[in-house]
Structure 1
């Protein structure tokens, strides 16, 4: 009898996991499209500056180095507007509808890029639509993932999404070795249409959103579906927890403190924006913005649009087109490593280790650049004749450094902040806080990519690597002091930690709260907010 019960429990666990895995897989089709968009500047800029392969030799449009720097970076700043808008769109219409609507600008952007033949302006217009779509996608994707996943699966599914995004980058790079960049855009125009159809027919709305709209019966069905169509009794406790969290998110702080049912009017937009000033939102917002700052300014992200030229400048022993493709494979491996390791190491340890590895990689390539590159001011965007080294094996040093640099950036500096992004904000301000923090990321990436060529022109190629080394050291010190450990903590535990008035920004240990602790922390949060 006991053996039968164990087998039954195993079947239920598999059904719960598979249902969530299936839903996340459908959602991740958008991340695949996002990966393709992320790779486009890397394959379009070389084609328009005559650095590309034989498939783009017939390209008749050309751009200057100034236009190249804008093309490599302006997509990011447009992502900013999309992200800011997504926070306000996602909350009223829901995560599912937002994911469907975002397919429209994706399709328009790819079609314009395929058809543009007369001017460079049309290329910028097509990239504009893709950028806005990518920004609009951020909040619904991450909110949906955080709200449908069980605590034990959240990190795994975040890593899975990063793998899909990295795979999208890899596919775009690989297609570029077989065809022109325009044909790549033609093929990719089908992806958002397929995604919209799949989301419409296969995904349920999240239980938390349905509860926020008082659609309790639909929320029960959605939760049962997301847990493998198990009987309601199997999810009753989880549903009660979601109801309690939902009621708290819809209540004003006066009613929460007095433990009363809130009958006040729903918060206005200005009141929702005021949530950003409360410490339970402000503290995690500071943490996420700091990690998002370190992501591009530790180097590899700022270099990404110009990576093909950088491999050429370092005299890569492998063809630059192939080197960029191999680098995307390292990105995928980095994401897989994060997925496998984060349960054992936790997010904090893994991030600090990866930051340390990035510091070593940037320091090594800085040493190589100052030691072996030609002594004149060396800039990657210029046409260079290959230089000769007495020891050919030394040519592999920058190649290996760039690969491992990319690997550890993806594994820790990219993967971990996005996991925290989906779980660290309180439900009441999650949509707006996600939009604001994602927008700051796009601002930082834009600044990093837009200024990279100017920094090279001023500091030289190894000089820029030295700058990235200094920032990595600074980032390691800051992350050590502020990065919390959220692994195996529920969304409610995380929210209560940041609502606790006794904890500061450098208190990075999140306790698993007991039920009786939760009402005590609510009052502490209210007293804390009265001081703001």
Structure 2
């Protein structure tokens, strides 16, 4: 034991963390591409409805404002299908191969999108990309949580969030100089890069143990802990084996602490697992996180962000404003990475949603005071001149900078917690036995909510007006603050085993938010 401890001490912190960062970065190339796809409608829609044609002077394809809501929804409709498939596929072939599987279709779809000349073909390609993005959900989420040390898991997960935000920034930045078709071709580079990078990182040790590939699991863990010898990871590997064995056991065997010899759970068994309290409690938590994330005003605006910015009368160029906003998203991710270990997830989230709520109410008040009654960002005639937006800039004058400040603050706050933290919780709150399956269902549920939110935004804004819609989503954010205050636990510096033990205690309700550390019961 002294020899083992001595070898572990010889590995520097940098060397121990570096392989975890490399493996996470390789996987995050596909998350980066997801961010690009999330921002892509923001440069496509203005070009196709004639709001922003200066970079696309030869564009002949046109769509109506009503079609824009469908275009934004197609990806969200296909994404849940991919998410539902991702769990079983990920369990069958592994996290690494499941990520590799979607890279080639993504590359081809992006290239074809740049050549598409009809609304139906663009819609189909959006659906294909959405399906592939859904297929990568379970493997990408579980991979990071399973390869990271408990003290590093939060930071590694927030790097994924930063990659997503950086993808948004890149697309909007390229949108200032290139046509949306050229940007589509640029986006094709990143899934192909992910294919190359993931070939050089190991499979998740937890999945390898699940398949009883002990030697491969040990080699993977050695790689991930700094290319060390098996003796250096002996203690962690033993704990990982015990956790894997316990998590795979049926309930009677787990209670008696004996090795389970029963057959592996079938698909029907996994469906039954959803009904158990230890699954329902974290699933309800994740569903609430996703609901308030998708119905936060600035997230719903994403496909329409350029026209919304113009409709508020903001003096700056709308395209430049979106790039600044995306840059703030990256800054927020960096802030999240640097503070999540000291401040904690719960405190960051509650602060974030509080600021979002206040900014929503402030932006709504601004709209009711300065904008004409019934004002919306959608124009009745999509090919008319931009005089309407010039008019509103003249009406609000320098007060437009107030709207700009509120939008940018809301963007920063949203990216810190409301959109930055759900991804982390999904990766860590579900029980090991059905983690990938439930991650797939949870992300499918998220994109069903996203599809509803995106599709209904056009109707809500045209019914309630732009400031009325902002007020509506602000009220939802306020409800979210109350709900999450009562059900969100602190998972920072808690192991996956600590979290699973907490939710497996049937005596605790979802409002019992204190998770004990280790077996000593320390909070």
The TM-score range, normalised by the shorter chain, is: over 0.9
Contact 2:39 2:168 in 1 (8 A): yes
**CA offsets, 1:378-424, max 9 Å, x none?**
11021524235687431111111111111111110011111111111
Find the aligned partners of 2:478 and 2:176 in 1 and give their Cα distance: 37
TM-score (norm 2): 0.95
Query: Which of 388, 406, 417 is the aligned partner of 2:411?
Result: 406
Which of these residues, 337, 346, 349, is aligned with residue 348 of structure 1? 346
**Aligned counterpart, 1:378:** 375
Deviations 1:16-65 (A, max 9, x none): 10111111111111111111111111111111000114111211000011
User: Residue 489 in 1 paired to residue 459 in 2?
Assistant: no
Aligned CA distance change for structure 1 residues 291 and 8 (closer, same or farther; 3 Å): closer
Consecutive unaligned residues of structure 1, counting only runs of 5 or more, are 519-532
Query: Partners in 2 of 1:153 and 1:261 — Cα distance?
Result: 31
1:249 aligns with 2:247: yes
Per-residue deviation, 1:273 = 1.5
**How far off its partner does 1:105 sit?**
2.2
- List gaps (5 residues or longer) in structure 2: 380-385
- Contact persistence 1:99–1:140 (CA under 8 A): yes
The 5 A counterparts of 1:395-434 are 395-434=400-439
TM value normalised by structure 1:
0.93
Of stretches 304-313 and 338-347 in structure 1, the one that deviates more from structure 2 is 338-347
Structure 1: which 4+ aligned runs deviate by more than 6 Å?
5-8
User: What SS is found at the alignment partner of 1:422?
Assistant: helix
Q: Distance in 2 between matches of 1:435 and 1:501?
A: 24
Q: Please, what is the CA RMSD of the aligned residues?
A: 1.8
2:257 matched to which residue of 1?
Answer: 259
How many residue pairs end up in the alignment? 510
- C-alpha offsets along residues 89-118 of structure 1, whole Å, 9 cap, x if unaligned? 10111000001001122112112211212x
* Higher mean C-alpha displacement, 84-93 vs 253-262: 253-262
Indicate whether 1:30 and 2:30 are aligned.
yes
- Correspondence for 1:524: none
| Contact 1:163 1:336 (C-alpha < 8 Å) held by counterparts | yes
Instruction: Indicate the SS of the match to 1:502.
Output: coil
CA distance in 2, matches of 1:278, 1:234: 38
SS at the partner of 1:187? Answer: helix
Q: Secondary structure at the match of 1:387?
A: helix
User: What SS does the corresponding residue of 2:514 show, helix, strand or coil?
Assistant: coil
What does 1:31-430 correspond to in 2, within 5 Å? 31-117=31-117, 119-200=118-199, 202-375=200-373, 377-382=374-379, 384=388, 385-387=390-392, 392-430=397-435
Aligned mates of 1:391, 1:479 — CA distance in 2: 36
- Does the 8 Å contact 1:297/1:471 carry over to 2? yes
* Structure 1 residue 239 displacement after superposition: 0.7
8 Å contact from structure 1 (residues 50, 57) kept in 2: no
Distance (whole Å) between structure 2 residues aligned to residue 321 and residue 142 of structure 1: 32
Separation in structure 1 between the aligned mates of residue 123 and residue 252 of structure 2, nearest angstrom: 50
- Give SS of 2:227's match: coil
Q: Is the 1:224–1:230 contact (alpha carbons within 8 Å) kept by the matching residues of 2?
A: yes
Change in CA separation of 1:15 and 1:63 when aligned onto 2, cut-off 3 Å = same
Deviation at 1:484, TM superposition (A): 0.4
Deviation at 1:476, TM superposition (A): 0.5
Q: Report the secondary structure of 2:391's partner residue.
A: coil
What's the offset of the Cα at 1:193? 1.6
- The corresponding residue for 2:383 is none
